[in-house]
Amino acid sequence: MERQYRHEVKHEISYGDLLVIRTRMRAIARLDPHAIDGKYLIRSLYFDSPSDRALREKIDGVNRREKFRIRYYNLDPSVIHLEKKSRLNGLGTKYSAPLSKEEAQAIADGEIEWMKKADRPLIRELYVRMRFQSLRPKTIVDYEREPFIFDPGNVRVTLDHNIRTGLRRTDFLDPECVTIPAKDAPVILEVKWDAYLPDIIRDAAGLRGVRSNAFSKYACCRMYE
C-alpha cells in the first residue's frame, strides 16, 4: 500500500471568495468528470477512539496522524470506499479500499469479525484498530464539493461548502438520515499537488502570501456533542 505523499493546503474563505475562485478555475481547469452540474455531495462516516484520539491529535496539531472514514457520493451506495488519510510533515496521502453496501453497514453496526479475513489489507487494518484500540464510528459529515483538475503538477482544487453534521448518528447509508448545518462553518478551499504547484493555479486560488490553516470538517462537526 505504498503511496506518494502529496502537498495539501486548506484555507477558510468567504462565499464571495468562492464565487471568484470558481470563475477563475472554470477558465483554466477542467471539472472532475464525476461532478454533476459542477459539484457532488460527499457523505462520510468518521471513526475515532473512546478518548477521541484522532480529534485531539488534529486539534493539537500532531505532526504525524491518521484517520479512518467510510465515504460515498451523491447518496448513491453503489460505490462506497473505506479510506485512511495519513499526514506527515504537512504532506498527506490516502489509502482506499472498496466496500459493498452490506459490508459498510456491518462495520457501522459493529459487526466486524468478518473483517479479519477480508481480501483487502485496509479492511484488515481497520479490524485490528476496532478490535484492539476500540475504534468506532463517531459521526456523519456531509458537504457539497466543487472539484477542479489541472493536469500539470497533478493539481486538484476543491471548494467545499454547506458542511453538515450528523451529531452522534451513524446511520449514514439511510438517505433519510437528518444532518444539520455546522454552525459558522466556512467555505473551505483545498489544493493538492505532487512535485510542484503551477503559478497559474497559485494565482487563481489566491494562495500567494497566504498561510495554510488546519481546519477539519470532522472536528467542526464534533463541536456539537
| pLDDT tens by residue, 1-51 | 445 788 988 999 999 999 999 999 999 999 998 899 999 999 999 999 999
Please answer whether residues 220 and 185 qualify as being in contact, where contact means their C-beta atoms are separated by less than 8 angstroms.
Answer: yes
Q: Which CATH architecture has domain 6-222?
A: Alpha-Beta Barrel (3.20)
What nine digits make up the cell of 166? 450528523
Q: Is the dihedral of CA 42, 82, 59, 86 positive or negative?
A: negative
Which one-letter amino acid corresponds to residue 209?
Answer: G
pLDDT (tens digit per residue) in 158-194: 999 999 998 878 899 998 898 999 888 889 999 999 9
C-alpha cell at 156: 486538484
| CA dist., res. 205 & res. 210, Å (int) | 10
Of all residues in the chain, what percent carry a pLDDT higher than 70? 95
Q: Which residues does residue 27 pair with via DSSP β-bridges, in sequence order?
A: none
Question: Long-range contacts for 68-71 (Cβ within 8 Å, ≥24 apart)?
Answer: 68/126, 68/129, 68/135, 69/44, 69/45, 69/218, 70/44, 70/45, 70/99, 70/104, 70/107, 70/108, 70/172, 71/42, 71/43, 71/44, 71/45
Evaluated on CA atoms 23, 36, 31, 146, the torsion sign reads positive
Q: Which of 169, 218, 223 is nearest to 58 (CA)?
A: 218
Selection from 163, 165, 173 nearest residue 99 by Cα:
173
Average pLDDT for the chain: 91
Q: Please state the pTM of the whole predicted model.
A: 0.91
Q: What is the mean predicted confidence (pLDDT) over 47-60?
A: 89
Least confident of 126-135, 184-193, 201-210: 201-210
CB neighbour list of residue 7: distance below 8 Å, 6 or more residues apart: 90, 91, 192, 193, 194, 197
Question: According to the model, what pLDDT value does residue 1 have?
Answer: 44
Lowest mean pLDDT among 44-53, 54-63, 101-110: 54-63
Please state the domain extents for the chain. 6-222
Closest CA to 193 of 144, 149, 159, 160: 149
